[in-house]
Amino acid sequence: MPNPPGVAIVTGASRGIGAAIARRCARDGYVVAVNYAADSAGALQTVADIVAAGGSAAALRADVSVAADVVALFDRARQLGEVTAVVNNAGITGNLIGPLADVSVDVLQRVTDVNVVGPLLVSREAVLRMSTLRGGKGGQIINISSTATTAGSPGTWVHYAATKGAIEVLTVGLASEVGREGIRVNCVSPGSTNTGLHAAAGMPDRAEKLSPGIPLGRPAEPDEVAAAVAWLLSAEASYITGAILPVSGGR
């Protein structure tokens, strides 16, 4: 890893897991591009937290599902320095919990756009800029999946779990495709994590309610997911690519 390590783009870093990853990347020396789509106050708070801790960051708005936004995000991040790490964290459930048949077509399309098309666009742009075959200096991509892929979230989030299955396949395929181009691609798959995602879907206590079925008996904290991302980004994981690392308390 170069020293300093360069710029890390973290999508969906205005709160929750993305904000924790952004703070952790800054702690590890990255200049952080704190991406958000709508929550500018949250993104500015993430930047303020990083700066208060002695780091460097900028809030960059971009809807990851919009190709032109993604190109502009990379252009603006490049102004901060060489982009060497990209974390595909932005993800949504559609703010509902229920069976697939009750999910509207609009929600299905939006969740797929943000959770699948978004990481595809971001990963494509990352490869275009980082691949050593294309004039880049190499780098890393980390995708954030979910252990929802294990059972497919019947009765709650089948539509969401399916999109997370796609991001795991993206990880495996792209890792093989660009391994010789100086790019490692890995995935972190969190279990139930203490963020606002559950409240937004109408079940604020959902993460806690799942605790009895988790061997470690509790949901994850965002910082614990961020620690796994940090390790995969580190030189300690230099021979790891195409991996899907559960951070799930054993579930």
Sign of CA dihedral 29, 85, 180, 185: positive
**Nearest approach, Cβ of 80 to ligand NAP (angstroms)?**
18
Q: Tell me, yes or no, if 30 is annotated catalytic.
A: no
Strand partners, 88: 143
Rank residues 129 and 159 by Cβ distance to ligand NAP and give the closer one: 159
Q: Which chain residues interact with ligand NAP by CB under 6 A? A: 11-18, 35-39, 63-65, 89-92, 114, 118, 144, 146, 190, 192-193, 195-197, 200, 207
For residues 15 and 222, give the distance between their C-alpha atoms in angstroms, rounded to a whole number: 10
- Which of the following is catalytic: 30, 36, 160, 239? 160
At closest approach, how far in Å is the CB of 191 from ligand NAP? 6
Residue from 152, 251, 156 nearest 211 by CA? 251
Nearest distance from residue 204's CB to ligand NAP, in Å?
Answer: 12
User: Are 87 and 64 within 8 A, CB to CB?
Assistant: no
**Shortest Å distance, C-beta 110 to ligand NAP:** 9
Amino acid identity for residue 124 in this structure: R
Q: Of 90 and 130, which has the nearer Cβ to ligand NAP?
A: 90
> Alpha helix (H) ranges present in the chain?
16-27, 40-52, 67-78, 105-112, 118-130, 148-151, 158-178, 197-200, 206-209, 222-233
Q: Would you say 16 or 136 has its CB closer to ligand NAP?
A: 16
CB nearer to ligand NAP: pick between 132 and 194: 194
Of 65 and 131, the one with the shorter C-beta distance to ligand NAP is 65
Q: Shortest approach of ligand NAP to residue 89 CB, angstroms?
A: 5
The pairing of beta strand 7-10 with beta strand 31-36: parallel
End-to-end CA distance of the chain: 32
Phi and psi at residue 57, in whole multiples of 5°?
Answer: -160, 160
Question: Among candidates 9, 20, 14, 10, which has minimal Cα distance to 225?
Answer: 20
* Residues belonging to the active site: 160
